[in-house]
A and B are shown apart, each in its own frame.
Chain A
Amino acid sequence: DIDDVGHKYYLELELEDVLDKDSTVNCTAEVLYHLGNKNIAPDVQFTLEGELKNADEADNIFYNRIKSLEKELVAENIPDSHGNVPPEMEPIRLLAWVASGYVIWQNSTENTKFQLAQIKHVKQVKRSDEYLEFDYMILLHDMVSQEIIPWQMTVLWHPQHGIQVTQDSRQPKHVSG
Chain B
Amino acid sequence: DQVFHIVPETFQQVQHLQHLCSTLLLDLWKPQLPEDIRTGEDLHIRVPAPLVQEVKDSLDHHMISYKVLISDLQKLVDQSMPKERRSHRQVPEAYVYTQYHPMEEIYQWMTQIQKNNSELVTQHYLGKTIENQEMYYLQISQPSDKTKKIIWMDCGIHAREWISPAFCQWFVKEILQNYKSDPKISRFLQNLDLYVLPVLNIDGYIYSWEKDRLWRKNRSPHMNGTCYGTDLNRNFNSSWGSVGVSYNCSSEIFCGSGPESEPETRAVAQFIERKKNDILCYLTIHSYGQYILTPYGSTTKPPSNSEELMHVAEKAAAALMGKYGTSYKVGSTSLILYSNSGSSRDWAHMIGIPFSYTFELRDNGTYGFVLPVDQIQPTCEETM
Contact = CB atoms under 8 A, between A and B. Distances in A.
A87 B48 contact: yes
Contact of A83 (B209, B215, B375): B375
Contacts of B216: 146
B373 A82 contact: yes
Interface stretch (B89-97, B143-151, B343-351, B361-369): B361-369
Contacts of B228: 176-177
B213 to A, nearest CB: 5
Contact of B369 (A64, A84, A90, A141): A141
B104 interface: no
Give the interface centre of A64, A82, A84, A86 by most chain B CB atoms within 10 Å: A82
B58 interface: yes
A133 B202 CA distance: 41
Nearest to B22: A19
A160 to B, nearest CB: 18
B102 to A, nearest CB: 11
Given A87-B25, A139-B214, A79 B51 contact: no
A143 interface: yes
Contacts of B209: 81
A82 B22 contact: no
Nearest to A59: B23
B69 interface: no
B370 A80 contact: yes
A83 B213 CA distance: 11
Nearest to B225: A177
A87 B24 contact: yes
Contact of B371 (A83, A86, A147): A83
A74 B338 CA distance: 38
B211 interface: yes
Nearest to A78: B370
Interface of B: 19, 22-25, 48, 50-51, 54, 58, 99-100, 209, 211-216, 225, 227-228, 231, 250-253, 289, 338, 365, 367-375
Closest 9 pairs (CB-CB, A-B): A83-B372, A115-B365, A146-B252, A58-B23, A83-B370, A88-B50, A79-B370, A81-B213, A148-B214
